[in-house]
Amino acid sequence: MTIDNASAEEVTAATQGEKVAVSYPAAGVAQLTISRPERRNALNIEVKELVARAVEQLSADPSIRVIVITGAGGAFVAGTDVAEMQSLTPVEHTLKVTDRMFTVLRNCPKPLIAAVEGYALGGGCELALSCDVVIASEKARFGQPEILLGVIPGAGGTQRLLRAVGRYQAMRLLLTGKHVYAAEALAMGLISEIAPEGKALEQAIEMAQHVASMPQLAVSAIKEVIRAGADVPLDTALLLERKAFQILFDSHDQKEGMKAFLEKRPPEYLGR
C-alpha cells in the first residue's frame, strides 16, 4: 500500500512506529512525527518523501484542520543526513527532487505548527521555518550550520530566515553556523512561543485545537493572504487583504460569528 492512495486511517496504520507516523490527538488535528532516533531524526530522502506524501494526504482530508509536526525521542530534526548528502551530484539533487518536502509544506493550505524539542538545525531549522507557528521548549536549539560543511542552506534557510529575523541576525547565524536557544530565538522572531522542557508538543496540540475550533474560511483566508502578501508591495498586499475580508461577508460563519457576539453566546461555525 502506498501513502498516495491510502485513507487517513491507513496512513496512520502504515507509518505508526516507522520513520514517519501520523496520529490524531484531537478533533480536526493531525500530528506528524519524524522518528529516526539513531540520527536524531535527520532528514534523508526517504523521510522527506514520506513527510511530503503525508502532508499532501492530510491537506486533502476535509476533516483535518491543523497539522502539528514534531520529532520523536527528544529531538525535532537535527539536520539533513550528511552521510547521504555527501556524495550527491547536482544532477541527482534535480532528479531526486530533494527539496520536494519543502515545496509541499510551502503549498500546504492548512496551518502547520512545529513542536520543537532539542535540535532544529540545518534542514530541521528549515522545516520549522516552513511552518506557520513554531513552539519550542526552553532548551530547544536552532541554527543553520551548513557553512561548517562548505555549503549553504538549500531549502529556504537563507530566504525564510531573512524574512523571519531580518538581515543582521540572519547573517550572524548563517556566516558563523552558531546555534541559538529558544529564548534568543523568541527574541529575534524565529519562534512563536516557548514551552516548558518536554511540553512543546502538548502546547502545540493545545494551540492546534484552538485554531481548529476557529471559522475555517477565515483561517484559510489568513494563511492565503499572509503567504501571498509577504513578498509583494504593501499596496498590493493591502488590496489582497481587503478583497479576502469582503468575500468573507458572504459566508455563514461571518453572520454566525457576529450574531453570536451580539447575543453574547458561543458561535457555531460550519466552515461555510
pLDDT in tens for each of the 272 residues of the chain?
Answer: 233 334 444 344 334 458 999 999 999 999 999 999 888 899 999 999 999 999 999 999 999 999 999 999 999 999 887 776 677 777 767 766 678 999 999 999 999 999 999 999 999 999 999 999 999 999 999 999 999 999 999 989 999 999 999 999 999 999 999 999 999 999 999 999 999 999 999 999 999 999 999 999 999 999 999 999 998 999 999 999 999 999 999 999 999 999 999 999 999 999 89
Helix/strand/coil for 194: strand
CA distance 150 to 62: 43
Residue 205 CA, distance from chain mean position: 13
Strand partners, 215: none
User: For position 97, what pLDDT does the model report?
Assistant: 63
Dist. CA 78–CA 71, nearest whole Å: 10
Cβ atoms of residues 217 and 251 within 8 Å: yes
Q: Can you tell me the distance from the alpha carbon of 31 to that of 113, in angstroms, rounded to the nearest whole number? A: 9
Biggest distance spanned by C-alpha atoms of the chain:
65
Which pLDDT score, from 0 to 100, does residue 82 have? 74
Catalytic center residues = 126, 146
Strands 179-181 and 141-143: antiparallel
Strand order in the sheet with 179-181: 119-121, 141-143, 179-181
The alpha carbon of 238 is separated from its chain's Cα centroid by a whole number of angstroms, namely 25
Q: Give Cα 9 distance to the centre of its chain.
A: 21
Residue 98: its pLDDT value, please? Answer: 75
pLDDT of residue 13: 38
Measuring CA to CA, which residue among 154, 269, 133 is closest to residue 200?
133
Q: What grid cell was written down for 232?
A: 509583494
Place of cell 562548505: 150
If we measure between CA atoms, which residue out of 92, 28, 19 comes closest to residue 63? Answer: 28
Q: What is the pLDDT of residue 20?
A: 96
Q: Which domains does the chain have, with CATH numbers?
A: 3-212 (3.90.226.10), 216-262 (1.10.12.10)
* Strands lying side by side in the sheet with 112-116: 20-26, 29-34, 66-71, 112-116, 133-137, 193-195
Strands 141-143, 193-195: pairing is unpaired
Cell of 5: 492512495
CA distance 2 to 19: 15
Amino acid symbol at 44: N
Residue 137 has a pLDDT of 98
